Structure 1
Amino acid sequence: MRILVYGAGVLGSYLAHVLVRGGNNVTMLARGGRLDELQKNGNVIRHYFQFRTTADKVNVVSELQPEDIYDLVFVVMKYPDFQAVLPALAANHSSHIVLVGNNASPSEMRDYLETHSSVKKQVAFGFQLSAGWRENGRVNCVRAPKVQMTIGGLGEELSWRAVIDQAFVNTKYKLVYHNHMDEWLKSHFVMILPLNFIAPSYNGDLRKAIKDNMLLHHVIAAVDEGHQVLEKLGYTVAPASQIKLAREQRKMFYILLKLMLSTPVGKILLGDKAVSADEMSALYQAFNDLKSRANIPTPHWDTLENYSPLPQR
């Protein structure tokens, strides 16, 4: 298949690697220094926990022209960056588009693409479970042995699912289809936003943060408050296990949180290298809008906004 990965950051680079190894004809869209890196050295990825490095040759472009038609386009970028690329995507004559990443306004993006395109657009949304950072001309990728993407439409089954399946047929990659990705994506960011209060509370020092039990309890309670906001607005939290963990299994959540913060994975996932401050700020604003609409008290969120660390002995 002829596939474009629009966005050459950490997540897009790993996705391109998977698709290339699956036998697809992959093009990456990149700009600036990343464009130069890909043209000179290829798509170099250090697989952090697998203790290996790969380098894949890929086609590279810096712009998406209307006449550049692909069987499938994956747009992989941070939430605040999606809006700027929608006009180019709408003008392009490719039909199948998957927007991958945190997203607080998928319905608006789909409607824009369908309204402003001269060809029928089939639009899906996905979230890839991997993380990492760029360093010294390569991507450092933190992932499980088999990476998963949750993917789907906005209240409907994808009639063109076979196109996506074909892209991954020869890969070690798991696709999980979900018909209500708007709810899934909102559920995801109300989970991760409280977690991202932890490191800043102690200027990035997770060794100190892990000892602050009050902080961790506020985080867990804030996740549940986020779920309550979604429920008040008529959303179903997905997956259902997420709401059960925060509401009925708080002791287990607390233990898992402590374990995560004490491991290299936690330090990476919540550290400055892997977290985009701009993206968290945009998602937080989106959550504030949801809170305003729901009009219910969220005392633990309010505490986290102005959290003062415990005095250090």
Structure 2
Amino acid sequence: MKILIYGAGVIGSIFAAKLSLSGQDITVLARGKRLQEIRDAGIVLRSPETRKEEVVRVKTIESLPPGEKYDYILLAMQRTQVDAVLEHLSQNSTENIVFIVNTAAGYDEWKNAVGTERLLIGFPSAGGERNDGVVSYFIGRGLVRMFQTTTFGEISGERTGRVDDLIEIFNLAGIPSVFCSDMDAWQKTHVSLVTCIANALYGHDCDNRKLAASWSDVEEMVLGIKEGFIVLRKLGIRPTPRKLIFFRLPTCVLTAFFKIIMGTKIAEITMAKHCMVAKTEMIALQGEFDQLIEKSGVKTPHIDLLRSNLAKPTPGEKASHK
């Protein structure tokens, strides 16, 4: 398959490298320093556990020509970066454009830009951080899939051949992937989760182990997530995927469980490190979910308290102000 990865951040780099290693024809669209890093040294992935590095050479471009057609374009970037690239995507003739982007706001804007018939939705179970051109990464496998698996679907909910092909490609690349018939519900659920977790981390300088040491703050995070699910149900949206039904367990049980989870290396790589560099996105996502809260009429005191942590500067913001 001829695939363009549009965006060379952590997720784009992981996907580009793993898909290329599995035999796909991969091109990466990147700009500035990141483009030069990839051209000079390739995509460098490092396992945080083993410290083993993989160096993968891929083709690169810095702009998307209207006439250059791919089997798939995978748009992998933060929510706040998407608007700037919609016009370029609209002018390209590729028939399958996959938005791998966090949002709780629905897809009308994206449908208007590229057309309903070209639009697919996905979301990764992967994460990490990039330093000096090296991506320390994690892919959701095993027990982690209890929370989240890389997921793809059509906005219509139909299971189509192009979705099945995409899932097969990712599975062959070692990125466990599944189908979802309601990606909008899936993403709204994910935003309700990730905003509470991120806001709890912002209350502890994005230090997951400090958060894990506080029963009361982990409990507040769990209560916020439960409130978010109440909001979704009030709007007729079933929290998705169904395996998240375990959030109906007693708060004390979930708090004990998340105290363990938040103290792990996985939480550091996939949650804390991301929150450190993605605060602008988290503010935008919280704003999107706040619109759902307002529409539902549900009182959300725990989410309100967690939201107040967005006003606290991250360690990086503190350093920049010195």
Q: TM-score, normalised by structure 2?
A: 0.87
Instruction: Decide which moves more: 164-173 or 129-138.
Output: 164-173
- Counterpart of 2:35 in structure 1 is 35
Q: How far does the alpha carbon of each residue in 1:210-232 deviate from its partner, in whole angstroms, 9 at most, with x for none?
A: 33322222111111110111111
Check 1:67–1:202 CA distance in 2 against 1; reply closer, same or farther (3 A cut).
Answer: same
Q: How far does the alpha carbon of each residue in 1:118-160 deviate from its partner, in whole angstroms, 9 at most, with x for none?
A: xx84211111111111101221112345794211022421432
Q: How far does the alpha carbon of each residue in 1:243-287 deviate from its partner, in whole angstroms, 9 at most, with x for none?
A: x33333433321221112222222333324554101111100001
- Counterpart of 2:199 in structure 1 is 197
Instruction: Give 1 or 2: higher helix fraction.
Output: 2
Q: Give the secondary-structure state (helix, strand or coil) at the position aligned to 2:150.
A: strand
- Counterpart of 1:310 in structure 2 is none
Pair 1:301 & 2:303 matched: yes
Tell whether the 8 Å contact from 1:245 to 1:252 is kept in structure 2 after alignment.
Answer: no
Map 1:73-222; keep pairs closer than 5 Å: 73-115=73-115, 121-144=117-140, 148-159=149-160, 160-165=162-167, 167-168=169-170, 170-222=172-224
2-structure distance, mates of 1:53, 1:133: 14
2-structure distance, mates of 1:163, 1:292: 39
Q: Give the secondary-structure state (helix, strand or coil) at the position aligned to 2:272.
A: coil
Q: Give the letter aligned to residue 96 of structure 2.
A: H
Q: Give the letter aligned to residue 93 of structure 1.
A: S
1-structure distance, mates of 2:175, 2:97: 19
2-structure distance, mates of 1:209, 1:162: 39
Q: How far does the alpha carbon of each residue in 1:41-65 deviate from its partner, in whole angstroms, 9 at most, with x for none?
A: 1111112224311111100000001
Check 1:237–1:137 CA distance in 2 against 1; reply closer, same or farther (3 A cut).
Answer: same
Tell whether the 8 Å contact from 1:86 to 1:112 is kept in structure 2 after alignment.
Answer: no
1-structure distance, mates of 2:24, 2:210: 46
2-structure distance, mates of 1:164, 1:19: 11
Map 1:266-277; keep pairs closer than 5 Å: 266-273=267-274, 275=276, 276-277=278-279
- Counterpart of 2:313 in structure 1 is none
Check 1:74–1:296 CA distance in 2 against 1; reply closer, same or farther (3 A cut).
Answer: same
Check 1:166–1:272 CA distance in 2 against 1; reply closer, same or farther (3 A cut).
Answer: closer
Displacement of 1:166: 5.6
Instruction: Decide which moves more: 216-225 or 143-152.
Output: 143-152
Check 1:166–1:264 CA distance in 2 against 1; reply closer, same or farther (3 A cut).
Answer: closer
- Counterpart of 1:46 in structure 2 is 46
What's the C-alpha RMSD, in Å, of the aligned pairs? Answer: 2.2
Displacement of 1:170: 3.9
The runs of 5 or more residues in structure 2 that have no matched partner are 310-322
- Counterpart of 1:251 in structure 2 is 252
Displacement of 1:109: 3.7
1-structure distance, mates of 2:168, 2:260: 38
2-structure distance, mates of 1:304, 1:112: 34
1-structure distance, mates of 2:243, 2:168: 30
How many positions carry a matched residue from both structures? 303
2-structure distance, mates of 1:15, 1:190: 25
2-structure distance, mates of 1:220, 1:165: 31
Q: Give the letter aligned to residue 247 of structure 1.
A: R
Check 1:205–1:23 CA distance in 2 against 1; reply closer, same or farther (3 A cut).
Answer: closer
Q: Give the letter aligned to residue 259 of structure 1.
A: I
2-structure distance, mates of 1:214, 1:161: 42
Instruction: Decide which moves more: 202-211 or 60-69.
Output: 202-211
Check 1:170–1:109 CA distance in 2 against 1; reply closer, same or farther (3 A cut).
Answer: same
Check 1:280–1:164 CA distance in 2 against 1; reply closer, same or farther (3 A cut).
Answer: same
Tell whether the 8 Å contact from 1:100 to 1:127 is kept in structure 2 after alignment.
Answer: yes
- Counterpart of 1:311 in structure 2 is none
